[in-house]
Amino acid sequence: MHGIARKAIPNKSDKLAKHSTTEIEIGGLYEQVRQILDAAKSRAARSISSEMVAAYWHIGQAIVEREQAGEARAGYGERLIEMLSVQMKAEGLKGFGRNNLWYMRQFYFNLIIFLMFRAFSLIIDS
């Protein structure tokens, strides 16, 4: 520290004041950077959405498999979903109410049926 001369760090506003706006053309760069960020955010959102759809299908699958391994009496699936919902809410997980869990179960069934019909129609069309 002693004997070492330090340069004064220029203030950003002093630097900008020395240049006219035509010398500092960042408009095109700014737009390019914004496009890159917007595209990345869009891809990330689509990726997250795809992963969540897969997660909901797997949750539905797990519920159905547990139901099929459980009691054959009517109402077992409803009680199972209700108990799962209560536990998930107690853990602070949002979006897993009784209705949403039931929809995930139905999503599993509906996608299986759709895929079976799709495969069947492809075989017929061949």
Helices within the chain (DSSP H only):
12-18, 27-69, 76-90, 98-125
Q: Is residue 103 part of a domain?
A: yes
Q: Is residue 6 part of a domain?
A: no
Range of the domain at 67: 25-125
Q: Is residue 11 part of a domain?
A: no
Q: Is residue 88 part of a domain?
A: yes
- pLDDT recorded at residue 19: 55
Q: Is residue 36 part of a domain?
A: yes
Q: Is residue 82 part of a domain?
A: yes
Encode 18-50: b = buried (16+ Cβ within 10 Å), e = exposed: eeeeeeeeeeeeeeeeeeeeeeeeeeeeeeeee
- For the four alpha carbons of 63, 67, 73 and 74, in that order, the dihedral sign comes to positive
pLDDT digits 0-9 by tens, 43-78? 999 999 999 999 999 999 999 989 887 665 557 788
Q: Of 59, 45, 50, 72, which Cα lies nearest the Cα of 100?
A: 59
First to last CA, the chain: 84
Q: Amino acid letter at 79?
A: R
CA distance linking residue 67 with residue 77, whole number of Å: 6
- pLDDT recorded at residue 12: 58
Total domains in the fold of the chain = 1
Q: Is residue 12 part of a domain?
A: no
Q: Is residue 14 part of a domain?
A: no
- pLDDT recorded at residue 4: 58
In this prediction the pTM is: 0.65
Cβ neighbours of residue 98 closer than 8 Å, sequence gap 6 or more: 81, 82, 85
pLDDT in tens, the chain (126 residues): 555 555 556 565 555 555 555 546 777 888 888 999 999 999 999 999 999 999 999 999 999 989 887 665 557 788 999 999 999 999 999 999 999 999 999 999 999 888 888 888 888 887
- pLDDT recorded at residue 36: 95
